[in-house]
Structures are given as structure tokens and as C-alpha cells.
Amino acid sequence: MGFEQAGIKVEREQEFGELHRAIARVFEPGRVEQFLKCVDRSSKRIRDFQAVLDRGMIEQVDEALAQSKRAAIGLYNALSESDQGQMREFYLSQMEQVEPALRTKFQKIYRYY
């Protein structure tokens, strides 16, 4: 039996859903390389979710979020602590699912040090 995450109710469903969809879109196969390039240009690590939010990297790649005039950091800050934790976990899981060839190409931002 594998690991199964406990279901935690989302408190701010609208903000959570909007940010969740934006993150999912930047990790889609057609956009993920653009997102990784954006992170690379900023000299930040891909695992530094707070820096990704602070620098508006999700909005730079996701046109839908950019057109909504809502910033990813604003959506994230509107969430409760438990919602924020779930969002960080979702982001990190998406980051780890990037195809190996792209992870190798952008190994500098995937490093732990």
C-alpha cells in the first residue's frame, strides 16, 4: 500500500482553485520550458515557491492569470495556512513531475544547494 494523502478541506475554494489551475497550466508540457527559463533567468531555485510567487513568475507564463489582474502572491496570501500548505505541496509535486530531459537541461535550478 502506497502513501495516501489525507483529505483536508480547502477553506478559500475560489482563490485556491484559481491558483491551483494557474500552477497546473505553467507545468503543462507546452509551457513548462518557458516557466523553467523564467525561473532560471531569476537565478532562483525551482523549489523556492515563495520566490516564484514574489517575482510574479507564474503570471509571466500563464496568460489567464495575467489577464485576470490577480497576482499569484495575492491569491496565495488570501489562503489559510492549511490551504497554503496544500498549495506548496501541489506546486512541489508538479515540479517533480517535469520530464527528465527538461530537468537535466535546467539542472541548475533543480539543485538542492
Is position 4 within any domain?
no
Is position 54 within any domain?
yes
Is position 67 within any domain?
yes
Is position 6 within any domain?
no
The span from the CA of 5 to the CA of 88, in Å, is: 14
Is position 7 within any domain?
no
DSSP output for 6-27: PP---SSHHHHHHHHHHHHHHT
Q: Tell me the mean pLDDT in the region 85-112.
A: 93
Note the pLDDT tens digit of each residue in 56-96: 999 999 999 889 888 999 999 999 999 999 999 999 999 99
| Mean pLDDT (the chain, rounded) | 91
pLDDT at 4 (0 to 100): 54
The span from the CA of 86 to the CA of 68, in Å, is: 23
The pLDDT of residue 12 is above 90: no
65 touches 72 (CB < 8 A): yes
Residue 101 CB coordination number (10 Å): 8
pLDDT at 113 (0 to 100): 64
Query: What distance separates the 2 farthest-apart alpha carbons in the chain?
Result: 43
Is position 3 within any domain?
no
The span from the CA of 27 to the CA of 99, in Å, is: 10
Query: pLDDT over 90 for what percent of the chain?
Result: 79
Is position 5 within any domain?
no
pLDDT at 3 (0 to 100): 44
Domain that holds residue 32: 13-110
64 touches 22 (CB < 8 A): yes
Domains of the chain: total: 1
Is position 2 within any domain?
no
